């Protein structure tokens, strides 16, 4: 078994300390070959000046979900996913509760991983943002 190949949720969780998602309180809830689910508490760190979820935080969640999922079943000593494109549409906002990010694979090849990510408010189940993220698998030198 290759210890550099990410095949467990515990291995993914070990990547989070001392990162932006860690500072926001993001946790990995579940992962499988097709999708990932993240959860984040709404806090002052995630608010814009009017008290609502900052749109940039939605993008952080989307990129985190896609990039972590792009690590799944990959030997990180050989290649690492790096974000090369992200776009998002902010549909609604939230000011309290918890925010979920569910990323699903659109297409994955040896060079690229494309994910759709839906950001929702956990308590109301309202869709807040839809995003698409593309990661490039960069060779480790």
Tokens representing 92 are 């609604």
Contact 58, 42 (CB under 8 A): no
Pairing of strands 98-108, 35-41: antiparallel
Residues contacting residue 19 through CB under 8 Å, at least 6 positions apart: none
In 3-state terms, the chain is what percent helix, strand and coil (to 5)? 20, 45, 35
Cα angle 132, 42, 80 (rounded to 5 degrees) comes to 40
Which residues are catalytic, by number?
63
Question: In angstroms, rounded to a whole number, what is the distance separating the alpha carbons of residues 22 and 24?
Answer: 5
């Amino acid at each position: 078994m290759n210890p550099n190949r990410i095949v467990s949720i515990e291995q993914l969780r070990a990547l989070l300390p001392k990162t932006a998602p860690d500072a926001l309180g993001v946790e990995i809830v579940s992962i499988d070959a097709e999708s990932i689910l993240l959860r984040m508490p709404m806090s002052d760190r995630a608010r814009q000046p009017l008290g609502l979820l900052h749109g940039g935080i939605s993008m952080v969640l989307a990129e985190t979900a896609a990039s972590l999922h792009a690590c799944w079943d990959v030997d990180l000593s050989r290649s690492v996913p790096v974000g090369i494109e992200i776009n998002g549409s902010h549909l609604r906002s939230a000011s309290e509760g918890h925010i979920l990010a569910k990323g699903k694979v659109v297409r994955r090849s040896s060079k690229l991983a494309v994910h759709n990510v839906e950001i929702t408010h956990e308590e109301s189940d309202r869709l807040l943002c839809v995003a698409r993220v593309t990661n490039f698998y960069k060779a480790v030198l």
